């Protein structure tokens, strides 16, 4: 850069262009971070809704009346697809024991983006969930 005469002040065109490029890079990086944050928030909301639905489906098992080998599917108004299935655990000789009182319940929820959340529990046949403690 050439030295400036005494009365001249300001930036050269090259300095302005370099500052503009640096500003553009910083703004682009900030927008990418914001975009990723917004996507993560959407995924977290769907995940929270899916897990709430999983708990609901597992808690409602007794009222649905599924027997081992049966399943039930459905879809919520906002696009979550769910399924609940019941089975019996395998006993020592490799067969499902019809005389066993344990039922294995598996619930699965798929969100509109295709992410799958699954939860399982074992219940004694006829077990009733206790009322929520106030």
Quote the pTM value.
Answer: 0.58
Q: Is residue 103 part of a domain?
A: yes
Q: Is residue 130 part of a domain?
A: no
pLDDT digits (tens, 9 = 90+) for 65-97: 777 888 888 898 888 898 888 888 766 554 454
Residue with the bigger pLDDT between 130 and 29: it is 29
**Average predicted confidence (pLDDT) for the chain:** 80
Q: Is residue 129 part of a domain?
A: no
Write down how long the chain is: 134
Q: Is residue 33 part of a domain?
A: yes
Q: Is residue 91 part of a domain?
A: yes
Q: Is residue 2 part of a domain?
A: no
State percent of the chain over pLDDT 70.
77
Q: Is residue 131 part of a domain?
A: no
Domain that holds residue 110: 13-124
pLDDT of residue 7: 62
User: Structural domain tally of the chain?
Assistant: 1
pLDDT of residue 128: 53
Q: Is residue 8 part of a domain?
A: no
């Amino acid at each position: 850069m050439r030295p400036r005469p005494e009365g001249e002040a300001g930036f050269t065109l090259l300095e302005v262009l370099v500052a503009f490029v640096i500003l553009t890079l910083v703004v682009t990086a900030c927008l990418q971070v914001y975009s990723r944050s917004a996507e993560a928030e959407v995924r977290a909301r769907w995940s929270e809704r899916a897990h709430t639905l999983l708990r609901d489906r597992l808690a409602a098992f007794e009222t649905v009346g599924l027997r081992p080998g049966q399943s039930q599917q459905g879809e919520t108004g906002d696009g979550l697809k769910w399924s609940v299935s019941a089975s019996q655990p395998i006993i020592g000789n490799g067969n499902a024991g019809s005389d066993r009182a344990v039922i294995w319940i598996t619930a699965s929820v798929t969100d509109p983006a295709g992410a799958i959340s699954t939860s399982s529990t074992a219940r004694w046949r006829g077990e009733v969930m206790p009322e929520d403690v106030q």
